[in-house]
């Protein structure tokens, strides 16, 4: 898929620059048949498998096949679209030990999550069929996104003297580009530690550019690192900018000049 192919140019360039042997193995969606791919992995004996999958069927199938060929799950790393409880449960014991990267950590002990659990679900006003999902990976990602929407909207209203009023799309964008989610602000909101502090600007929509690594123990994810940045962020940023410039040139797009 386009999603699976997207990181390949960067990964190839980084592998060449760092002296890493990159073995590319494609899995046609929906990815419910992976026997031949995992036989190849057994033959290659890689140090790590980075699984760039999407969908619980594809992701869990990889773990069960890894178990069959005795590839250690402790040497498997899933990107964020394979980093939810829903990706782990179908694989059962085969998922134990698997690593995954997170842009929002699970847990219901963050003050905002706990308040919603008490004041919304405790009052019978929640709409989740399974209330145990409150505090899960997907739920906390959604909460984090909602917080950013609200903060951006507040910025847009304040910047345009429209407090309590509707804003335009362009004004909302400007509100996003004024986000400055410091650790103090995240603490005030009640999600300190759930996401990494970040800011956004006209020139940089990337945000924190950091992730935390989690490991599945059979029942839940456990955080095993702090919020980590790429080993060479300037190098990766240059790859992004070069790709964007190429796309703009090919499609007659004039890039915006940021202040």
CATH number belonging to domain 2-103+211-250: 3.40.50.2300
Q: Residue 102 — φ and ψ, nearest 5°?
A: -125, 140
DSSP for 45-56, written as a single string: --S-EEE---SH
Q: Which of 34, 85, 42, 101 is nearest to 64 (CA)?
A: 34
For residue 214, give Cα distances in angstroms to 33, 39, 62, 81, 103: 26, 27, 18, 13, 10
Distances (CA, A) of 4 to 1, 14, 54, 81, 108: 5, 17, 9, 11, 32
Question: What does the block give as tokens for 173?
Answer: 């964008």
Distance of CA 194 to the CA centre of its chain: 12
Strands 99-102 and 76-78: parallel
| Helix (H) or strand (E) run with residue 65 in it | helix 56-68
User: Is the CB of residue 233 less than 8 Å from the CB of residue 209?
Assistant: yes
Contact 20, 11 (CB under 8 A): no
Task: Identify the segments of the chain with pLDDT beneath 70.
Answer: none
Model pLDDT, residue 135? 98
Within the chain, what is the greatest distance between any pair of CA atoms?
63
User: What pLDDT does residue 39 have?
Assistant: 98
Tens of pLDDT, residue by residue over 109-139, are 999 999 999 999 999 999 999 999 999 999 9
**Distance from C-alpha of 248 to C-alpha of 259, rounded to nearest angstrom:** 19
pLDDT of 234 reads 86
Q: Could you check whether the bond before residue 103 is cis, i.e. omega within 30 degrees of 0?
A: no
Map residue 187 onto helix, strand or coil.
helix
What are the extents of the domains in the chain? 2-103+211-250, 111-199
Burial of 216 per CB tally in 10 Å (0-12, 13-18, 19+): buried
Q: What tokens does 134 get?
A: 């409150």
């Amino acid at each position: 898929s386009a999603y699976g192919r997207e990181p390949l140019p960067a990964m190839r360039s980084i592998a060449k620059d760092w002296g890493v042997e990159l073995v590319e193995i494609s899995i046609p969606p929906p990815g419910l048949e992976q026997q031949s791919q995992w036989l190849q992995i057994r033959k290659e004996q890689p140090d790590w498998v980075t699984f760039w999958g999407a969908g619980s069927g594809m992701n869990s199938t990889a773990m069960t096949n890894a178990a069959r060929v005795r590839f250690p799950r402790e040497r498997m790393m899933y990107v964020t679209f394979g980093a939810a409880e829903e990706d782990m449960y179908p694989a059962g014991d085969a998922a134990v030990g698997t690593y995954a990267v997170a842009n929002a950590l699970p847990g219901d002990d963050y003050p905002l999550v706990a308040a919603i659990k008490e004041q919304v679900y405790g009052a019978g006003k929640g709409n989740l069929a399974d209330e145990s999902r409150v505090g899960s990976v997907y739920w906390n990602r959604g909460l984090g996104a909602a917080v950013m929407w609200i903060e951006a909207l507040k910025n847009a209203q304040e910047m345009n003297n429209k407090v309590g009023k509707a804003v335009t799309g362009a004004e909302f964008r400007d509100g996003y580009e004024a986000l400055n989610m410091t650790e103090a602000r995240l603490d005030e909101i009640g999600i300190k530690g759930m996401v990494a502090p970040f800011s956004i600007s006209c020139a940089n929509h990337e945000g924190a550019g950091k992730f935390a690594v989690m490991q599945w123990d059979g029942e839940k994810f456990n955080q095993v690192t702090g919020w980590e940045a790429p080993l060479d962020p300037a190098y990766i940023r240059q790859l992004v900018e070069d790709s964007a410039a190429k796309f703009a040139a090919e499609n007659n797009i004039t890039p915006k000049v940021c202040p």
